[in-house]
Amino acid sequence: MDSFSSNPIGVYDSGVGGLSVLAAIRSLLPHEDLIYVADSGHMPYGQKSPEYVKERALKITDYFLNQNAKAVAIPCNTATAAAIKALRERYPQTPFIGIEPAIKPAARMTKSGVIGVLATTGTLLSQTFNELVKREAPNTKVLLKPCPGWVDLVESGKLSGPEVEEIVSEPLADLLKNDADVLVLGCTHFPFLLGAIRNFVGGELPVLETGLPFARQLHFQLDKRDLLNQGTAKGYFKMLTSGDPVWVQALTGDLLKSAVAVQKLPAAVC
């Protein structure tokens, strides 16, 4: 178990959105080695069928397991909703950590009884998400707002400016008009747009994201299986993409404010 616990963790997102949870993972699990796959050649997932997303998740998981990953973390709401059940069934010995929008804390915080969820169409239409809402917010009015173009903004490196403000404002205006007093970011790309979101809604309205709860759950799942890396060295971070590695490398550097080398995934995985 000791040698296996030093194996890497596979981290997987449709693109660079999962990088928004990286700081939380690094803070709680500084000694873990991470292999991050940005499936940028197939994004945006929110416009793909659940079956398509599931097949991509299975293929990338096969890659992780071939790299001897001890666990797979999926900080992608659309992929979690479409694929995590199938992944757990196919690989019952592998821990899979998915991500969910922060519906439960939002339902506890609201004073108006109305919360707004900003997410991709794929997430909002999924059975997994709808079961989450029924379970965690049965007495709360939950307004669902797809956000066309938001993922594309982040993947193109546009995080501020007039175009961003215009695209971001429409879904937000509709939620505020309908009395939502807590907003939930249901996509890991969206925290990168928090500046533009705050410019529209102001600084007081709660806007919930899920990076820290996700990292805590990852830590918990590893700990209970005795899979935490017991080393003392800082873990490495390796990043690959099914898209253009030159573009993804430049974008990642901008988002993380540090240089990261990005490699192309093997052709069989792309």
pLDDT in tens, 24-70: 999 999 999 999 999 999 999 988 999 999 999 999 999 999 999 99
**21 closest CA partner among 159, 217, 212:** 212
- What residues contact 230, with CB distance under 8 A and at least 6 apart? 2, 5, 6, 31
**235 closest CA partner among 9, 28, 34:** 34
Count the Cβ atoms, other than its own, within 10 Å of residue 159: 15
pLDDT in tens, 203-259: 999 999 999 999 999 999 999 999 999 999 999 999 999 999 999 999 999 999 999
In angstroms, what CA-CA distances link 39 with 8, 198, 217? 19, 28, 23
Sheet of 237-241: strands edge to edge?
96-97, 71-73, 9-13, 34-38, 237-241, 262-264
In angstroms, what CA-CA distances link 208 with 25, 33, 161, 263? 17, 28, 23, 32
Count the Cβ atoms, other than its own, within 10 Å of residue 104: 17
Count of residues in the chain? 270
Q: What is the pLDDT of residue 47?
A: 86
Count the Cβ atoms, other than its own, within 10 Å of residue 239: 22
Calculate mean pLDDT across residues 170-191. 97
Q: Report which residue type is found at 83.
A: A
CATH topology of domain 2-99+212-264: Rossmann fold (3.40.50)
Place 1 in a pLDDT band, splitting at 50, 70 and 90.
very low
The model's pTM is 0.93
Per-chain mean pLDDT for the chain:
96
> The dihedral of CA 204, 210, 211, 217: what is its sign?
positive
CATH number of 103-209: 3.40.50.1860
Class of residue 268 by CB neighbours under 10 A (exposed 0-12, middle 13-18, buried 19+): exposed
- What residues contact 113, with CB distance under 8 A and at least 6 apart? 139, 140, 141
* CATH 3.40.50.1860, the chain: domain bounds: 2-99+212-264, 103-209
Q: What is the pLDDT of residue 263?
A: 98
Q: Is the predicted pLDDT of residue 82 greater than 70, yes or no?
A: yes
Q: Is the predicted pLDDT of residue 2 greater than 80, yes or no?
A: no
Active site residues: 76, 187
Calculate mean pLDDT across residues 187-207. 96
Class of residue 5 by CB neighbours under 10 A (exposed 0-12, middle 13-18, buried 19+): middle
Q: Is the predicted pLDDT of residue 110 greater than 90, yes or no?
A: yes
Q: What is the pLDDT of residue 46?
A: 86
Calculate mean pLDDT across residues 86-106. 97
